[in-house]
Amino acid sequence: MDFSLTEEQELLRRTAREFLAAECPPAFVRRLASEEDGFSSSFHRGISALGWPGLVVPEAYGGQGLGFLEAALLLEEFGRAAAPGYFAPSYVLAAAALRSASPRLARSWLPRLATGEAIGTVALFEESELLDARGVTGRARRTRGGFVLRGKKLFVPYARVADFFLAPFRLGSGIPLFFVPKETPGIRIEELSSYDLTRRLYEVHFHDVRVPEEHALFPKASPWSTFDGLLLLGALAVSADSLGGAESMLERSVEYSKVRQQFGRPIGSFQALKHMAAEMWVEIEFSRPLVWYAAHLCDTQPRRASVAVSMAKARTSEVFSSVADRAVQMHGGIGFTWEHDLHFWYKRAMANRAAYGDPAFHRERVVSEGLEGRRHASP
């Protein structure tokens, strides 16, 4: 038994931390927040040069063929830097789903995804925001040689910069995912103004959008080409992001407490703050093994990963949002200002908590599947 990272995984973490510290400092995050699509092509060239877009893309398609544990480690670092948030939907979720596409579709898109030449995104949710099949009301209709799609998808990350969408539509009694290039006629995109300045969300209308036969991904080969599978991977990705974000907020608060003086001494010498910081740290450290384990199960026993992912999502969401509160508190008034950087993470915590199922949703799953359903793969 070994519950630790390999040297390669440690190296990936270090590389990511160094790269993001240099290329994605808070000043960059701030600048991006005011740009049209929240996207920077130079930053994108940087991550592409490191091969990260191809992390979970099989080697046969020009990727690195690594797993979700590596993706989680990388996403933790992205969360730590509050980096622009298209990475997970495109290079983890969409890439994982496309691995089970028809060979022709996979051949034409996975290599482009792996090099960063193409960006994808997932359009999973609708107005009802139901997190299971009931939430999919958009319909696919079979026509000669393909399908016609009609429906509205909400909370779609980075729809403007994406080159394609993966979206579930109802087809008879099934719910396949459909691969839809953004330029297809019938697509209309509207931005949803969000407090989270580090990510962009859109509403995407599919009005009689025509796609060919091979653009439907049926859930036979892979658990990741389904609504449930992508919900799970999304929850995992957000968990890793929250872990890194919380850690970053704690570090910033501790550093500040060492330099900020009140009553003639650094505020970090007061026990009230020490205990707050210690609690935050403990909560973060005990979230980490949940994220690692959930990612590990997604790699090794994907059909038994859902309880572990729900545990990770519920805990990291609670921890990130409450760490965020306390971090601002430890900073006092300055932490509440626009000019201080802390609010980027604070808002990301708010968004992460809600994304891919809130803590209450995931705690319920922990009980129904883990305690009653006995589907939990406990080590």
Partner 1 sequence: MDLRDSPEERALRKKVRAWLRRNVPRELRDGPGAEYGDPARIEAAKRWQRKLYEAGYVAMGWPREYGGQGADLRTQTIVNEELVRARAPSLIGMMGIQMVGPTLIQWGTEEQKRRFLPPILTAEEIWCQGYSEPGAGSDLASLQTRAELVGDEFVVNGQKIWTSNAQFADWMFCLVRTDPEAPKHRGISYLLVDMKSPGITVRPLVQMTGDAGFNEVFFEDVRVPRKNLVGELHDGWRVANSTLLHERNMLGSATRTRQLFDRLCRLARTRERNGRKAIEDPFVRQRLGDLFARVEALRLDSYRQLSEAVRGSTRPTAASMTKLVGTELNHEICALALELLGSYAPLTRRSRRAIDRGIWAWEFQFTLGMIIGGGTSQIQKNILAERGLGMPRG
Residues contributing to the site for partner 1 (CB under 8 A): 1-6, 69, 254, 257-258, 265-266, 268-271, 273-275, 277-279, 281-282, 285-290, 292-293, 296, 308, 310-312, 314-315, 360, 362-368, 370-372, 378-379
Residue 152 vs 288, nearer CB to partner 1: 288
Rounded Cα distance between 114 and 83, Å, is: 19
> What is the rounded distance in angstroms from the CA atom of residue 65 to the CA atom of residue 267?
47
Q: Distance between CA 365 and CA 371 in Å, rounded?
A: 9
| Residue 22 beta carbon to partner 1: minimum distance, rounded to whole angstroms | 24
Instruction: State the nearest-atom distance from the C-beta of 265 to partner 1, in Å.
Output: 8
Residue 296 near residue 69, CB atoms below 8 Å:
yes
Provide DSSP, 48-69.
HHTTGGGTTS-GGGTS----HH
Q: Which is nearer to partner 1, 124 or 277 (CB)?
A: 277
Give the nearest distance from C-beta 209 to partner 1 in angstroms: 39
Collapsing DSSP to helix, strand or coil, 115 comes out as helix
As measured in angstroms, the least distance from the Cβ of 279 to partner 1 is 7
To the nearest whole angstrom, how small is the minimum distance from the Cβ of residue 64 to partner 1? 17
Strand partners, 157: 201
351: three-class secondary structure by DSSP: helix
C-beta closer to partner 1: residue 251 or 325:
251
In single-letter form, the type of residue at position 298 comes to C
Shortest Å, Cβ 336 to partner 1: 22
Looking at beta carbons only, is 199 or 365 nearer to partner 1?
365
Task: Using the CB atoms, write b or e for 42-70: b if 16+ within 10 Å.
Answer: ebbebbbebbbbbbbbbeebbbbebbbbb
Closer of 98 and 246 to partner 1 (Cβ)? 246
Cα–Cα distance between 203 and 190 in angstroms, integer? 5
Nearest to 28 by CA among 36, 18, 38: 38
User: Which of 257, 306 has the CB closer to partner 1?
Assistant: 257
Alpha carbon distance 127, 319 (integer Å): 27
Nearest approach, Cβ of 311 to partner 1 (angstroms)? 4
Instruction: Provide the token pair at 88.
Output: 């997970």
Of 64 and 239, which has the nearer Cβ to partner 1?
A: 239
Burial of residue 176 (CB within 10 Å: 0-12, 13-18, 19+) is: buried
Shortest distance, position 284 Cβ to partner 1, whole Å? 10
Report, in Å, the least distance between residue 10 CB and partner 1: 11
* Nearest-angstrom CA–CA distance, 168 and 211: 13
Q: Give the nearer residue to partner 1 in terms of CB position, either 36 or 372.
A: 372
Backbone region of residue 155 per phi and psi (left: phi > 0; alpha: psi in -120 to 50; beta: other values) = left
Nearer to partner 1 by Cβ, of 216 and 277: the residue is 277
